[in-house]
Amino acid sequence: MKEIRWIIKHGKRHIPLILVALFGSLIESLSTAGITLLVKKVVDDVFILKNTETLFFISASLVGLALTMQLGFFISSYSVNAMGEGIIADLREKIFNKLLHVPYSFFIKHPAGDLMSRISNDLSLLKQIINEHLPKLVRDPLIAIALISVLIYRDIALTLILFVTLPLLIYMVKYFGSKKGKHTKLAQEKSSEVMQIFSQTIHGSENIRVFSFQERLLDTFKRFNKQVKKFSLKMIAYMLGNTALNYVFGYVIVAGVFLYGGYRIIEGHITAGDFLSYLTALFMIQVPITNSQKAIMNIKASLPLITRIDFLLNLEEERGGSRIFKGIKEKIVFKNVYVRIDGKTLLREINLEIKKGEKIGIVGHTGSGKSTLVKLLPRLISYEGRIEVDGADLCEFSLNSLRGKIAFASQDIFLFNDTIRNNLLIIKPDATEKELFNALNLALCEFVFRLKDGIDTIIGEKGLTLSGGERQRLAVARLFLRDPDIVILDEVTSALDSETERKLLKNIFETFKDKTLLIVAHRFSNIQDCDRIIVMKGGKIVQEGRIETLQMEDGEFRKIFRDV
């Protein structure tokens, strides 16, 4: 079974626990077999021969075997559960590590709700399957083998007849397992869509209320939620149907054995003790066989979960080169660069030269490709064509060294649910108190010093306890903690008033006067001190030049800033 192979593959470092579990299962199975063998002595030596000494011996043996059996059960179950917890912890860590290193474009293509469902729901279900059913698959087959040995020992002819029923059991496992797996997959897919709606509702709560979108969103949620319920109920129906058939099948077999065994006792071929010992083993074997079958069925049904988790584990990671990026000596050159994502062309025919220390303003209407263009330098987005830094292709540089020389502040502000201090220290973990306060002052974050806990104030998820302008200034403060070679600002002053914006830009231009600076902006005030302006439309550069020249030309720049 490839599902078992997959679990073992990801549990290699926990193999010693499996060996301990097998040891515990061996103890439990031998103890269980011993109990069935004692039944013959109880009937033949105690009930029939009235032997008192045997009675005490059997009673003591029964207690000893029961204690040993439960000890084996504990060792086996705990070891497999410990392995299961270890596997899930390892998978969680691997997925988190993978998401830290996949290309940025991956998150453009895949909704957060679907990813959260895979990480949360799928791993929880897999954990449940491993912890509930893997112990049974390790323990119960050994118990079944021990009891089958007793059956063969007591009556080999009858036992061989019972083996004829095995193909039917195998068919039931295959049929119910595939049906349950199919509806598990459908339920998980619809659960992902439900999680996506939850995620969008949480992040878009303000707009949902302003647009009175609650009822329509609720209708959509109800539709998907109903489908989750439908597929989950079908999954449960197949699981319970399998259990019911197992028990019916088991009792039919027991009835046949009663008939055959009773005849053998009447004919004098076996003693009553032999038959009751056989019957006890047969009754006891039904539970481990049923548990093994259910465990196999449930683990087989986990294939859709494994497939969805495997998708995350096998994501292609970002690839960088081996050269260390030490900064720009002369210039950056874009040569016929294209960006295509999911069949859509976002940038086309980008040919651009940026000199070291040059201040470049990038303007254009929404959707013109401005943000996409600046995300190419830190290699957040894959591209076709060539981008050279002093003649060397950008792809030749290691990602860490390249990004370590770039200070990037985007319109999508990223803040942890943590203190202001820790949100700054992600840029420079060893920053001194003086450096932190200097960065806050340069970013005009005077509001920090008015907070009750100051720099150690916890700002909430995505910094929601702060205003939009405060979040933007805090994001800019990070830039001043880094010694970059390239500074990229993507609409970082959109929430600021004109006076605060003017002072902040002045600090940025003065602090990074020798650095290469790229500013994406809609406001004229953001770009008026730039050396050169790039004008974009439809993913292309349609104009380029000094601001005074562009103001004189009848082109896209004048359309954008017609009232300036």
pLDDT digits (tens, 9 = 90+) for 397-453: 999 899 999 999 888 888 888 999 999 998 888 999 999 999 999 999 999 999 889
Same fold, 2-313 and 331-560: no
pTM of the entire structure?
0.69
pLDDT at 11: 81
Neighbours of 487 (CB within 10 A): 21
The structural domains of the chain, with segments of one domain joined by +, span: 2-313, 331-560
Whether 538 has a pLDDT exceeding 90, the answer reads yes
User: Tokens 């329509």 correspond to what residue?
Assistant: 216
Among the listed residues 481, 426, 422, the one whose alpha carbon sits nearest the alpha carbon of residue 456: 422
Distance of alpha carbon 431 from alpha carbon 300, whole angstroms: 52
**Rounded Cα gap, residues 37 and 281, in angstroms:** 8
Average pLDDT over residues 313-332: 91
- Over residues 213-266, the pLDDT tens digits come to 788 788 888 888 888 888 888 888 887 887 777 777 777 777 777 777 777 777
pLDDT at residue 211 in the model = 63
Q: What is the pLDDT of residues 31-72, one digit of tens each?
A: 988 888 888 777 777 667 677 777 788 788 888 988 999 999
Residue 349: per-residue pLDDT: 94
Rounded Cα distance, 45 and 479, in Å: 89
Given a contact cutoff of 8 angstroms between Cβ atoms, the answer to whether 260 and 119 are in contact is no
- In 10 A of CB 252, how many CB atoms? 11
Alpha carbon 388 to chain centroid distance?
A: 36
| pLDDT bracket for residue 564 (50, 70, 90) | very low
Using one digit for the tens of pLDDT, what is the confidence trace for 470-506?
Answer: 999 999 999 999 889 999 999 888 888 889 999 999 9
Residue 207's pLDDT band, with cuts at 50, 70 and 90, is low
- Secondary structure element (H or E) that encloses residue 250, with its range: helix 214-266
Q: Is the pLDDT of residue 385 over 90?
A: yes
CA angle 299, 304, 308 (to 5 degrees): 125
Q: Pick the closest to residue 350 from 360, 331, 337, 362 (CA basis).
A: 337
Q: When comparing pLDDT for 279 and 518, which is higher? A: 518
Three-class SS of residue 488? strand
Greatest Cα-to-Cα distance within the chain, rounded to the nearest angstrom: 119
Beta strands in 368-494 (DSSP E): 384-389, 392-393, 406-409, 486-490
Contacts of 282 (CB under 8 A, 6+ apart): 147, 151, 253, 254, 257
148-171 pLDDT, tens per residue? Answer: 888 888 878 777 777 777 677 667
Across 215-249, b (16+ Cβ under 10 Å) vs e yields eeeeeeeeebbebbeebbebbeebbeebeeebeeb
Instruction: Give yes or no for a contact between 515 and 485, defined as CB atoms under 8 angstroms apart.
Output: yes
For the segment 87-92, the average pLDDT, to the nearest whole number, is 89
* Pairwise CA distance, residues 277 & 265, whole Å: 13
Could you tell me the strand order of the sheet in which 516-520 lies? Answer: 406-409, 486-490, 516-520, 359-364, 532-537, 540-545
89 pLDDT higher than 60: yes
CA distances from 239 to 229, 298, 307, 358, 482 (A): 15, 8, 21, 68, 58
For domain 331-560, the CATH architecture is 3-Layer(aba) Sandwich (3.40)
φ and ψ at residue 233, rounded to 5 degrees:
-65, -40
> How far is residue 184 from each of residues 117, 129, 291, 367, 396, measured CA to CA in Å?
14, 12, 20, 40, 45
Q: From CA 360, how far away is CA 356, in angstroms rounded? A: 11
Tokens of 522: 């809609």
Query: Please, which pLDDT band fits residue 338 given cuts at 50, 70 and 90?
Result: very high
DSSP string, 306-339: HHHHHHHHTPPPP---SBPP---SSEEEEEEEEE
- Per mean pLDDT, which range of 87-96, 158-167, 290-299, 321-330 is the poorest? 158-167
Tokens 């040059």 correspond to: 358
For 285-317, write each residue's pLDDT tens digit. Answer: 878 877 887 788 778 777 778 888 888 899 888
Say what the pLDDT of residue 402 is: 93
- pLDDT for 520 equals 94
CATH dotted code for 2-313: 1.20.1560.10
Which letter does DSSP use for residue 417 in this model? S
Q: What is the mean pLDDT of residues 14-36?
A: 89
Q: What is the pLDDT, as a whole number, of residue 1?
A: 65
pLDDT of 290 reads 76
Cα(132)–Cα(151) distance, integer angstroms: 28
Assess contact for 459 and 418: CB atoms under 8 A. yes
Rounded Cα gap, residues 208 and 57, in angstroms: 76
Rg (CA), the chain: 35
Query: What are the pLDDT digits (tens) for 124-148?
Result: 888 888 888 888 888 888 888 898 8
Element holding 6 (H helix, E strand): helix 2-9
When pLDDT is averaged across residues 372-379 and rounded to a whole number, the result is 93
With a CB cutoff of 8 Å and minimum separation 6, the contacts of 13 are 86, 90
454 to 103, 319, 445, 476, 478: CA distances (angstroms):
36, 40, 11, 18, 17
